[in-house]
Amino acid sequence: MFGMEFYVDPSRCIGCQACLKACEECDTHRGISMINFDFVDRKETIATAAYVCWHCDDPTCAQVCPADAIKKYEDGIVGSSLKPRCIGCSNCVLACPFGIPKLVPQYEQMMKCDMCYDRTSVGKKPMCATVCPSQALTYVTPEAIAATRREKPVNIFWFGSQKITTKVYMMAPADAGEIAIDVADYTWEGER
C-alpha cells in the first residue's frame, strides 16, 4: 500500500503471538513464520517483543552474503534469500545486528520477513500488522502515526560504531532521535 510505513512498538505488545501465527498463513511462505518474538525475561516481567525485519537501507545481511543471494528491491524491501543462490552458510544470520534472518532447515535457505510482498505489492497490509490486536505492529501512513501516537518513530540505530538506517520504524520515547543499543555507545572515549 503506497505511502504506508511499518512501525514497531514493543510497549504495546501483549505477547499474544497472533503475528507469529498469522505470518505462516501468508501465501509466499506458507507454514513458516517470519516473525521474531521474545519474552524479554519472563521471570522478571510480562514484557514481550514481536518484531519483523527492519529492512535496512544498506542491509548487512546482503553485504556479507558470499552468494549474492539477498536483494533489496526498489521499494526498500529486503527479500528472503534467493533460493537458487543461497548456500545456507548462515553469514547473514550471524551478521544481522537485529538478529532477524533464520536458516530454515527444511528449505536449506535463509528466510526472513519480506514485508508480505504478495500483500503489500497489491495494496494490502502485511498479515502481522493487520491482525495485531494491540497494534504493536502497525502499517499506516506517517501522518496517521504522528496524529495518533505519543511516541516518536525512529529509524536510526547505533550498534557500537555501526550506524544503521531502516525502512521500518521503532516507536521510541518522544524525545529520542536515534536509538543506541549498547551502553558503550553512551560512554565518552573521545571522538568516535
Partner 1 sequence: MAKAPLSQDELSSRFGPHLNYNPPGGWQGDSGKYPEKLVKTHCCFCGQQCGIQLKVSNNRVTGFEPWEEFPFNRGMLCPKGVKRYLQGSHPDRLLDPLLRTADGFRAATWDEALDFTARRLRELQEKYGKDSVAVYGGASLTTEKSYLMGKFARVGLGTRHIDYNGRLCMVSAGTAYKAALGVDRAPNPWNDITEAEILFVIGANVGECAPITTDYIWRARDKGAKLIIADPRFTPIARNADLYLPVRPGTDLALLMGMLHVIIRDGLTDPQFIEAHTTGFEKTAESVAPWNPRRAAEVSGVAPEAIEKAAHLVGESRRAMLMHARGLEHQSKGVENCEAVVAIALATGNIGREGAGPIMITGQGNGQGGREHGQKCDQLPGQRTLTDPAAREHVAKVWDISPDELPAPGYTAVEIMNAIHSGEIKGLLSICFNPLVSLPDANFTREALEKLEFFGVIDFFLSETAAHADVVLAGSLQEEEEGVTANVEARVIHIQKAVDPPGNARTDSSIICDLAHRLGKGKYFPFTEPREIFEELRRASQGGLADYYGITYEKIDQQKGVFWPCPTLDHPGTPRLFEDGRFFHADGKAHFMSLAWRDSGDPVDAEFSIYLTTGRVVSQYLSGTQTRRIGALVDQYPEPKLELHPHLAEQHGINTGDWVTITSRRSAITLQAMVVRTIRPDTVFIPYHWPGGRSANRLTHRTLDPRSKIPEYKVSACRIAKAEGPGGRS
In sign, the C-alpha dihedral spanning 43, 9, 101, 122 is: positive
Residue closer to partner 1 (CB basis): 42 or 163: 42
Kindly indicate which of the ranges 38-46, 53-61, 152-160, 176-184 contains the residues binding partner 1, using the contact rule CB under 8 A.
38-46
Q: Does 17 bind partner 1 (CB under 8 A)?
A: yes
Does 144 bind partner 1 (CB under 8 A)? Our answer is no
Q: Which 77-116 positions form the footprint of partner 1 (CB under 8 A)? A: none
CA dihedral 94, 5, 22, 116 (to 10 degrees): -70
Judge contact between 35 and 19, C-beta under 8 A.
yes
Site stretch for partner 1 (CB under 8 A), options 17-25, 52-60, 62-70, 174-182: 17-25
Number of residues lying near partner 1 (CB under 8 A): 34
Distances (CA, A) of 175 to 20, 59, 106, 172, 186: 31, 27, 44, 8, 16
Sole residue written with cell 543499543: 181
Quick count: other Cβ atoms within 10 Å of Cβ 104?
18
Write down the H helix ranges in the chain.
18-23, 60-64, 91-95, 117-120, 127-131, 142-148
Contact between 148 and partner 1 per CB under 8 A: yes
Asked whether position 71 contacts partner 1 by CB under 8 A, the answer is no
Q: Extract the C-alpha cell encoding 142.
A: 506517517
Sole window of 7-15, 58-66, 108-116, 159-167 interacting with partner 1 (rule: CB under 8 A)? 7-15
Which of positions 110-139 make contact with partner 1 (CB under 8 A)? 125, 127, 130-135
Interacting residue ranges for partner 1, rule: CB under 8 A? 11-18, 20-22, 24-25, 27, 30-31, 42-48, 125, 127, 130-135, 148-150
